[in-house]
Structure 1
Amino acid sequence: MTRPADSLIIFIARLALAILFLWGGAMKLLGYAGFVGYLHAHNVPYAQFTAPVAVTIELLGGLAIVFGVRTRFVAFMLAVYAIVTAILGHDFWNVTQAALQQDAVVHFWKNVAIAGGFLLLTVTGAGRASIDGLRAPRGGFGG
């Protein structure tokens, strides 16, 4: 049972997390060839397959989080995705130039923090300001 203020804060958190994925997915789609090249440069296996999967996860996952659809499941999947992309895309342990390594370290830990936010959303759910919240049964007496 969430209070209205809690639901508003959860909604704001959902938007904050989703914006990054919606923006990233859109930019990957608009610069698709460059994104595939980036995947190849980072030795991501099956880049031709993983590129459309990544774009789809980011765009559909971001939309699902904004609207609060199957939030617990989607948030958990995006937490896993954030960790996988941290390991594959921000592998600072393989970077030799100091400035580039520092940038990769920051991006790696940002992904870990984002995963943490999604894990919290996995536990809290979407709140009432969501499609999930509209579908949830309401108890009697103010429920």
Structure 2
Amino acid sequence: MTTYTTSHNSAHDVLALIGRVLIAYVFVPSGWAKLVGFTGTVGYIASKGVPLPEVCAAIAVATELGLGLLLLFGFKTRWVALAMAVFVAVITPIFHGYWAVPEAQMAMQKLSFNKNLGMIGGLLGFAAFGAGRLSLDGGRRTRVGGMQPA
């Protein structure tokens, strides 16, 4: 049986921290804007034909703001990043369906769609490899399955 270990050095940890900050920079302000403009968020979601727009708006705020902050600080990073990746995968074709918008909106919606695919990729990277040692997860020193949690 092959055992895989992850080699850590300070550069990996700094890059993971920068990655978490940059991804959180996209989600946290967006989640805050949805929270303070909740009525408008509900209206926008409803305009896309999504059922239960109030519930969906609350889920969006919890994901973008709540999970975004957890990702920023690196707490339960693997699960948080996976949940965020699923959220983005679900909402992307609903809100950035560039194939179904007027031509004047197509380029912007396609850019947003593709940006979200990249965000999913980054989130899946954190789901796979964790937050690094410069995180709340990295501060925990318990060993899980023979590997240091990241």
Instruction: Please say whether Structure 1 and Structure 2 have the same fold, judged by a TM-score greater than 0.5.
Output: yes
CA apart distance, 1:70: 0.5
Alignment match, 2:112: 107
**2:97 is matched with which residue?**
91
> Partners in 1 of 2:117 and 2:64 — Cα distance?
16
- Structure 1 counterpart of 2:133: 128
More helix by share: 1
User: Is 1:49 aligned to residue 49 of structure 2?
Assistant: no
TM-fit CA distance, 1:137:
3.5
Whole-Å separation in 1 of the counterparts to 2:68 and 2:74: 10
Structure 2, unpaired ranges of 5+ = 1-6
Percent of residue pairs identical: 37
Let me know the Cα RMSD of the aligned residues: 1.4
Instruction: Give 1:6's aligned residue.
Output: 12
Instruction: Name 1:39's counterpart in structure 2.
Output: 45
The answer for unaligned runs of 5 or more in structure 1 is none
| Alpha-carbon distance between aligned partners in 1 of 2:20 and 2:96, rounded to the nearest angstrom | 24
RCO comparison, higher one (Cα < 8 Å, 6+): 1
Q: Which 4+ runs in 1 deviate beyond 2 A?
A: 136-139
Q: 2:78 aligned with 1:76, yes or no?
A: no
Aligned partners of 2:85 and 2:121: how far apart in 1? Answer: 7
